Amino acid sequence: MTRWRLREEFLDAETGSGHEVELTGQNGTRFQDGRSRLATVYVGKGAARDYDGIDVRGKAVIADRSDEISAATRGHNAAAAGALMIISVNDTRGRLYESYGDQEITSASVRAEEGARLIAEAQDGRGILKVEQKRFADYLFDLARVYKDAIPDTALVYRPTEDELAKVTSRYHGDKGVLGGGIRVYVPAREIGRGCGVGLTEYEKHPDVRTEYVSPPYGDSFWYENHRIGTGETPGIEQRGDKDRFRIHLPPERRRRLLPARSQAAEPVFPRPRRPAGRRAGRTHADPRPGSGNARLVRRRPVQG
């Protein structure tokens, strides 16, 4: 089986010239919800000496990833110099994921080719980055695809239509704004009774209302949820779910079969959000407010606390 969790972009950016920048948030980043317009400054490898004579206060710094300077040190140096954001440029192919520890600034990375463009703009003195951050998503997707008997010899992708997903309106209750955590686990039929499932715990805020699109389980498989108010050793209230088997309610003429696994996209393909006046639409492939005829959840089960 293959399991996906996709969410609304939490870190979105474009240059002052309108070029979209694909940022990858890093472990330990500090979230600063909202929009900002930051000048960019190139600081080499991000060592403390690289900031000598450079004013980066209130700006975004672009630094090269290297074995010489750890991610935590790179982020600390940027924060100590007054930067609001650090973007590390990968020194090899693909995406870059690093751990920055507990930082006081937003930490992100870009691929090497995109980083070269950002560095060139910063060095020319025309580097501007428009950034939008959102720590907690208004909508997300929990998707699972089960393959019977064998792993397919085609790309392991899943391309459901809107009509093939249950739409869940989840209401997380709490008497005050507090950080919590939650997980939705997909339990395949063959693992029932063995305590095995696929999912990842993520931070949540309470109280909150969130739209969630969920693929109906295959056969005797089911979804299991667990949500908790409070984190770590902080006292809190926890609520555990049961065997959730979401269904969709559609007239026969609107039912569609699943597209084959050789489809060309791993994301659910819905119409892109319309671009509101005065701002750019994000890169997300899903509209949090789909039109009429959506799949609906059979029941609602709030988390109380």
Q: Rounded to whole angstroms, what are the CA distances from 293 to 62, 142, 266?
A: 46, 20, 23
C-alpha 111: how far from its chain's center?
Answer: 17
Task: Give residue limits of the domains in the chain.
Answer: 8-133, 137-305
CA 89 – CA 95 distance, rounded (Å): 9
Residue 252 pLDDT:
55
pTM above 0.75? no
Cα R_g (the chain), whole angstroms: 22
Residue 60 has pLDDT above 50, yes or no: yes
Higher-pLDDT residue of 284 and 214 is: 214
CB contact at 8 A, 122 and 38: no
Residue owning tokens 């269904």: 247
Residue 84 pLDDT:
95
In this structure, which amino acid lies at residue 224?
Y
CATH code, 8-133: 3.50.30.30
Residue of 74, 27, 28, 67 lying closest to 47 (CA atoms):
74
Residue 64 has pLDDT above 60, yes or no: yes
Cis bond upstream, residue 207 (ω within 30): yes
